[in-house]
Structure 1
Amino acid sequence: MPSVPRDLRYTKDHEWLAIGDDVSVSGVTAVAAEALGDVVYLDLPAVGATLRAGEPCGEVESTKAVSDLYAPADGVVVEVNADVVADPGLVNTEPYGRGWLLRLRITGTPDLLDAQAYAALVGADVEEPR
């Protein structure tokens, strides 16, 4: 079981969010990436799309299944990671690094889990600070 980075926030649907002052970064957790298997295709929302927390905003296709991607917070997409679209396997190899999916300008207060709560939900350990 992969460990859970302490400095991120999480949804029960296995998305993570690094909350920034102006723009926040979102992706799929390592737990989800491991469960999905090899990710082969991503359908991500367009720049400028308005997202609502908990609602589907795209799809992640792997060798095992197609799964919905859920918005981690209310917000507007300001950037889509072109590298991960070109190489979806980055979701598996670097889910908290180069495998990020979206940059969002958050428009509401997200209802997210901290690392301890998410780790308890998935049966993982919390990663020590970097």
Structure 2
Amino acid sequence: MFKIVAILGITLFQLLVVAPSVASDRKCTPEIAWSDVPSEIRAHLVEAVDGEISPQGGPFNSTDIIIDSTPRARFFGACSESDGWAVAIERGGIGYHMQVFTFAGETLTDKWTAFVPSGGFTPSALVKPAER
């Protein structure tokens, strides 16, 4: 019994003390706006989605029917770290989804597609589905 309590105590200590210090340079909150993403990365994303990207909560055509010039992509959320960014973009069309793009500096390092979380943006939305 003492061994189990000791292991739980060590694990709790690691979660409370060690984990926050590892992630202290990570800014990943719903408050990061589209305009906070560096302009070079925004330009790369506009090119990647082949059109305008609406800001979070902005007008967005989530269907596959194009009636007007409403953007078919919308900023969903982002995280920044000391030398990189992870940005999620909602995409309309057949199979409403989001694409996540990761950057080291201004260089695209990875991208993947995932379902849009029903509860809105959380940092876990930027984790590859296979790694959850």
RCO higher in structure (CA 8 A, sep ≥6): 1
Task: State the TM bucket, normalised to the shorter chain.
Answer: under 0.3
Structure-2-length-normalised TM-score: 0.23
Higher helix share: 2
Higher strand share: 1
Give the number of the structure whose alpha-carbon radius of gyration is greater. Answer: 2
